[in-house]
């Protein structure tokens, strides 16, 4: 019985204090808040983020976009298909090297991004009340450090 109590206590500690579980739960809740606020725009938070990366990048290559988004190429392609289908981005082969594909937002995509920004800003302000900017920056820095350690 003592072993069972010890095991149970360890599981309770895991459930209550695991960094991975806590961060995943917080990420899901923050994503749900954003997705709810963005619903009218027709974009999810993931789509908004990907579109923002596409719109602000000097390097339009798919490989570079995958690296910036932290996605493997097949996951990126899957995520881009819906945006392309909806006319929000274009994916084209580059004339000089037909194997190289580039991606950029369409005018419609840029308008959709612009329309989504007020809802995104409002949600960011709401979240900032719970997660101060310095905390979010520390999480982002720690995440980048973990990524570099994996390489």
pLDDT band at 150 (very low <50, low <70, confident <90, very high): confident
Q: What is the structure's pLDDT at 125?
A: 94
DSSP codes, 35-87: HHHHGGGT--HHHHHHHHHHHH-S--BHHHHHHHHT--HHHHHHHHHHHHHTT
**% of the chain residues with pLDDT over 90:** 64
Cβ neighbors of 45 (< 8 A, separation 6 or more) are 31, 34, 35, 38
Specify the 3-state DSSP secondary structure of 99. strand
What are the extents of the domains in the chain?
45-150
pLDDT tens digits along 42-72: 999 999 999 999 999 888 788 889 988 989 9
Q: Which residues contact 131 (CB under 8 A, 6 or more apart)?
A: 30
The pTM (predicted TM-score) of the whole model is: 0.82
pLDDT of residue 147: 79
Q: Does domain 45-150 have CATH number 3.30.390.50?
A: no
Interval 89-132: pLDDT, tens: 999 877 676 567 889 999 999 999 999 999 999 999 999 999 99
pLDDT of residue 3: 74
């Amino acid at each position: 019985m003592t072993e069972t109590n010890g095991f149970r206590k360890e599981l309770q500690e895991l459930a209550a204090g695991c960094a991975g579980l806590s961060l995943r739960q917080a990420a899901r809740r923050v994503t749900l808040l954003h997705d709810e606020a963005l619903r009218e725009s027709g974009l999810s938070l993931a789509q908004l983020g990907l579109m923002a990366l596409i719109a602000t990048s000097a390097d339009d290559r798919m490989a570079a976009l995958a690296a910036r988004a932290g996605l493997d190429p097949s996951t990126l392609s899957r995520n881009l298909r819906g945006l392309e289908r909806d006319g929000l981005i274009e994916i084209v082969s580059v004339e000089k090297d037909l194997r190289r594909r580039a991606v950029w937002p369409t005018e419609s995509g840029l308008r959709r991004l612009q329309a989504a920004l007020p809802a995104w800003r409002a949600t960011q302000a709401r979240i900032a009340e719970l997660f101060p900017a310095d905390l979010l920056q520390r999480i982002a820095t720690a995440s980048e450090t973990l990524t570099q350690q994996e390489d």
